[in-house]
Amino acid sequence: MAEIKIVITGAVGAGKTTAIGSISEIPVVSTDVAASDAVSAFKASTTVAMDYGELTLDDGSKLRIYGTPGQERFSFMWDILATGALGFVILVNHSSPTALADLDFYIKRFRKSIDESTMAVGVTHIGDNLSSMAKYYDYMNSQHLPYPIFPVDARKAADVRLMVEAMASMIIYE
C-alpha cells in the first residue's frame, strides 16, 4: 500500500476546497475564514493555509490531498505544501476571464515541483460546454505539456475521483 501526497492548487474560486470535500473519506481539515477583502464580493470564505483530505484507492493506496490557498498573499504556504508532493492538480475556473492566464501562472509557479512529479488539470465551471475544452488542450500542447485535462464539477465526487485516480495511476505505474 502506497501513501501518495498530492496538492490541488489554482486561483480563488476554482473549487479546490469543494473538490477535496467531495472525495475525502475523513472530515476535511479546513482553514477557511470569512473573506474580508475583494474576494468577499463573490465568495463568503477563503482558505488561508490549506485544506486536507484523504482518499483510499481500490488497490489500498492512500491519497493524502492538500489544497493550497488561492490568494497570492498566502503563497508562503504553496512551497510548504508542495514539499514531498508526488502529483499536482491545477484547477482552473472556466468562467473566469483569466482562466488561461491562471493556468499558465500556476504551471509556471509550480513548474519545478511538477517536473519532479506529475500533474493533471481540472477545468471547473464549464458545465455542458465541452467544446470550450479545446483551448486548454491547445494551450497544453503549445507548451509541450503532456498531462491529462479533465472537465470537472468539483461538487461531484465521480468527476474529482476520476481526475485524481488518473494522476495517481501516473505516479504508481511510472
The mean per-residue pLDDT over the stretch 91-100 comes to 96
Model confidence at 43, pLDDT cuts 50, 70, 90, reads very low
Tell me the pLDDT tens digit for each residue of 144-162. Answer: 999 999 999 999 999 999 9
Model confidence at 77, pLDDT cuts 50, 70, 90, reads confident
Amino acid at 1: M
Spatial distance between the Cα atoms of 85 and 89, rounded to a whole number of angstroms: 11
Q: What is the CATH number of the domain that holds 82?
A: 3.40.50.300
Q: What range defines the domain where residue 156 resides? A: 3-172
pLDDT tops 50 at residue 111: yes
Closest CA to 16 of 40, 50, 62: 50
Sign of the alpha-carbon dihedral angle for 139, 141, 143, 147:
positive
Look up the pTM and report it. Answer: 0.88
Say whether 66 sits in a helix, a strand or coil.
strand
User: What is the number of domains present in the chain?
Assistant: 1
Indicate the average pLDDT of the chain: 87
55 against 71, higher pLDDT: 55
Residues 84, 90, 95, CA angle at the centre, nearest 5°?
Answer: 160
